[in-house]
Amino acid sequence: MTADSLALFLAQSSWTSSLTTEEAARVRRAITLRSYPAGGAVFAKGTPTAHWAGVVEGMLKLDNITAEGRTSTFAGVPSGAWFGEGSVLKDEPRPYAVTALTDSVVALLPRSEFLRLLHESHPFALWLIGQLNARLAHYVALVQSDRLGDTTAQVAHSLSGLFNDALFPNTARRITLSQEELGRLSGVSRQVANRALQELQDRGAIRLGYGSIEVIDLKILQAIAREG
């Protein structure tokens, strides 16, 4: 990973446009990049939250594992997204495990730099409020789809969430994500996810590939996510 790709990634991250030149330069110096293989652990649950993290390449998932070994995946994080600001703000240990779903590159901004931006940059603070608000809206919609929607709507919602423009502005149309992982993300079995995805494909929202999903019509996908 080169310094150029970090510069490109930061240029595509919307919050950097609100920074002064000096702030942007300081951020660039403070960030470290790390690579993870598919299946690799990015952060273990319960470890101190020392960084705010951005996904430069690949895709991560955030999940919890119960003592009995059952897992609950509650978020997928595609490339272009930043996450973990909640735990940085609260200064709490990571409340979830973070795992790379595909080979991934992650940018790490130390907590001290994040807090400095928050205190010194009014535009950054405003951007952060918008980010938290978009996340809240996403989970409000998730509860609604979970309570009222059929399984196809639930799968459509989980999938369309990865293409939420407010949260993930740069997600590519085609993402590398197995049906098993999407099932985990949607809270359904692989078999049910498979049927739902085929229905979404029949309705012209997506195209299925081997180990990948391509969104053909996001509007249709979002409409199906709201059905119920």
User: Which residues are at the interface with DNA (CB under 7 A)?
Assistant: 150-151, 178-180, 187-192, 194-195, 197-198, 208-212
Contacts of residue 122, defined as CB under 8 A and 6 or more positions apart, other chains included, come to: none
Please say which residue, 110 or 187, places its beta carbon nearer to DNA. 187
Contact 179, 197 (CB under 8 A): yes
| In the complex, minimum distance from the CB of residue 217 to DNA, in angstroms, rounded to a whole number | 19
| In the complex, minimum distance from the CB of residue 208 to DNA, in angstroms, rounded to a whole number | 5
Quote the CA–CA distance of 146 and 157 in Å, as a whole number: 9
| In the complex, minimum distance from the CB of residue 205 to DNA, in angstroms, rounded to a whole number | 15
Contact 61, 117 (CB under 8 A): no
Please say which residue, 105 or 175, places its beta carbon nearer to DNA. 175
| In the complex, minimum distance from the CB of residue 98 to DNA, in angstroms, rounded to a whole number | 18
Quote the CA–CA distance of 94 and 136 in Å, as a whole number: 19
Tokens representing residue 160 in the block: 């369309």
In three-state secondary structure terms, 18 is helix
| In the complex, minimum distance from the CB of residue 198 to DNA, in angstroms, rounded to a whole number | 6
Please say which residue, 27 or 175, places its beta carbon nearer to DNA. 175
Please say which residue, 167 or 200, places its beta carbon nearer to DNA. 200
- For residue 16, the 8-state DSSP code is G
Please say which residue, 32 or 72, places its beta carbon nearer to DNA. 72
| In the complex, minimum distance from the CB of residue 97 to DNA, in angstroms, rounded to a whole number | 18
Alpha-carbon dihedral 123, 24, 60, 168, rounded to 10 degrees:
40
Contact 200, 179 (CB under 8 A): no
Please say which residue, 88 or 200, places its beta carbon nearer to DNA. 200
| In the complex, minimum distance from the CB of residue 160 to DNA, in angstroms, rounded to a whole number | 18
Contact 190, 179 (CB under 8 A): yes
Alpha-carbon dihedral 89, 104, 175, 74, rounded to 10 degrees:
-40
Please say which residue, 171 or 179, places its beta carbon nearer to DNA. 179
Contact 200, 151 (CB under 8 A): no
Tokens representing residue 137 in the block: 């809206």
